């Protein structure tokens, strides 16, 4: 009888990301991670649910850390909680950032159009969807430029603004 193994959500996400990243088939992924192909396919189909589950775990972990910090916080003479020290908050934030996988941060930055490749390999990729923004050119750009200039910088105005009329 085959032994039943359990896997963490993070391990499942890692396997699916490796599987998807290189366009690999389930057989290559199962050999790389020593996991049954059937499980790889199941996890791939449930990838979004795995991410949501992992996100819920990370936020609940952060919430527990904050509650623990508040539990050990000092009290004022009237019994109110003192605010945590700056160093305690910095330690909490640093621990929270350490808990976020590096691949998640990279994908989030790429989604915002920010590349972290220092060698220039991704220079055109993040802004590829913005490349056609300037394709529409006005027929008479000099007239448009003059009109914009006058709207912004002309201080002489024939009309005056007396406020909004009330009904």
Q: What are 77-86's pLDDT values in tens digits?
A: 888 888 888 8
Residue 125 falls inside a structural domain? no
> Where a domain ends, among 114, 130, 159?
114
Number of structural domains found in the chain: 2
Whether residues 5 and 40 share a domain: the answer is: yes
Report phi then psi at 75, rounded to 5: -115, 155
For 43-75, the pLDDT digits (tens) are 888 877 777 776 666 566 777 888 888 888 788
Whether residues 67 and 29 share a domain: the answer is: no
Residue 89 falls inside a structural domain? yes
Residue 129 falls inside a structural domain? no
Domain of 62, in residue numbers: 56-114
d(CA 137, CA 11): 50
For 16, other C-beta atoms within 10 Å of its C-beta total 21
Residue 97 falls inside a structural domain? yes
pTM, entire model:
0.37
């Amino acid at each position: 009888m085959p032994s039943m193994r359990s896997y963490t959500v993070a391990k499942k996400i890692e396997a699916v990301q490796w599987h998807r990243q290189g366009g690999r088939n389930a057989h290559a992924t199962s050999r790389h991670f020593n996991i049954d192909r059937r499980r790889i396919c199941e996890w791939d189909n449930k990838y979004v649910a795995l991410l949501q589950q992992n996100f819920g775990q990370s936020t609940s972990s952060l919430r527990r850390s904050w509650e623990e910090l508040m539990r050990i916080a000092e009290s004022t003479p009237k019994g109110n909680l003192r605010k945590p020290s700056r160093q305690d908050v910095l330690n909490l934030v640093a621990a929270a950032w350490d808990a976020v996988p590096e691949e998640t941060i990279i994908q989030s930055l790429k989604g915002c159009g920010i590349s972290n490749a220092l060698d220039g390999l991704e220079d055109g990729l993040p802004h590829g969807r913005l490349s056609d923004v300037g394709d529409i050119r006005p027929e008479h750009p000099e007239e448009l430029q003059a009109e914009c200039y006058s709207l912004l910088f002309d201080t002489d105005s024939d009309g005056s603004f007396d406020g909004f009329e009330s009904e």
